[in-house]
Amino acid sequence: MTWQHTNRSRHARGYGHRWVKLRERILARDSYLCQTCAKAGRLTPATAVDHIVPKAQGGTDDPGNLAAICDPCHRAKTSAEAARAQGRTPRRRVEFGPDGWPIW
């Protein structure tokens, strides 16, 4: 019997192996819980890793700029960012917690 490597497809285009590893690290650091929900006292499993400062606004892949996030929060954040980019203010007032995180 010979060892065979499974074919690894790059399903996440634009993000390579480095991002996959980093993403895993951030999820583990944040206990696989959405950090935005956690600030609001909710425990929601995270499904993604978000850039706190969007890359479009100069955010980096530094772990300090990354947080585990759930789908609804990610969508809300993305649409708020899009609204801001268009010069509109988000419908909900954004407040910042003591550690500088936005509370949605």
Binding site for Zn ion (CB under 5 A): 34, 36-37, 44, 70, 73
Residue 17 Cβ vs Zn ion, minimum distance, rounded to whole Å: 27
**Strands, E, within the chain: which ranges?**
48-51, 66-69, 95-96, 102-103
Which is closer to Zn ion, CB of 66 or CB of 70? 70
Which residue, 67, 64, 76, is CA-closest to 48? 67
CB of 65: closest distance to Zn ion in angstroms?
18
d(CA 15, CA 10): 8
Q: Closest separation between CB of residue 45 and Zn ion, Å?
A: 9
